[in-house]
Amino acid sequence: MGDYEATTTIQTPPDRLFAYLADVERLPDYLPQMTAAHLVDDHKVDVEAVIQPEGEPPKKVGGEAWIEVVEEGHRLRWGAPGPHDYHGELDVEAAGQDTSNLTVRLHTDHAEGSQVDEGLEHTLAGIKSAVEARST
């Protein structure tokens, strides 16, 4: 349970990075377990993922989340209903010419610290790889 934060630098302009991240249909590009994400209305997202609980075969699951895109300040906020108080936000800031810093913050009452930290680092690496590949 707790709050977690991670930051990475990405070789792309902040406006381009934020536009990419604000398009929820792109979530499966950098979250390998996610198979689909569709914006239902301005704040609701339907998602599908394949999970593999320990000792069980993989299974497809669906869910609902909310998202808030804050253009001014390049910030996204999101969360999912349920008992684990899962929510987060990301900020995109200029870090130099055609370079951005991406910071992700999460809160969850479900997972243990090392699992969340590893997940954050994996997600940031996926975003960096997907965005920088698109820029070349």
Q: What is the pLDDT of residues 51-73, one digit of tens each?
A: 888 899 999 999 999 999 999 99
Q: Which domain holds residue 13?
A: 2-31+69-135
Domain containing residue 106: CATH number: 3.30.530.20
- State the SS3 of the chain: CEEEEEEEEECCCHHHHHHHHHCHHHHHHHCCCEEEEEECCCCEEEEEEEECCCCCCCEEEEEEEEEEEECCCCEEEEEECCCCCEEEEEEEEEEECCEEEEEEEEEECCCCHHHHHHHHHHHHHHHHHHHHHHHC
**For the whole model, what pTM was predicted?**
0.86
Is position 107 within any domain? yes
Is position 21 within any domain? yes
d(CA 13, CA 18): 9
Is position 17 within any domain? yes
pLDDT higher than threshold 70 for residue 136: no
Is position 53 within any domain? no
Is position 37 within any domain? no
Is position 43 within any domain? no
pLDDT higher than threshold 90 for residue 82: no
Using DSSP bridges, classify how beta strands 34-39 and 2-10 pair: parallel, antiparallel or unpaired: unpaired
Task: Please give the tally of structural domains in the chain.
Answer: 1
Between 33 and 83, where is the model more confident?
33
User: 46 φ, ψ to 5°?
Assistant: -95, 135
CB atoms within 10 A of CB 62: 10
Is position 61 within any domain? no
User: 96 φ, ψ to 5°?
Assistant: 150, -175
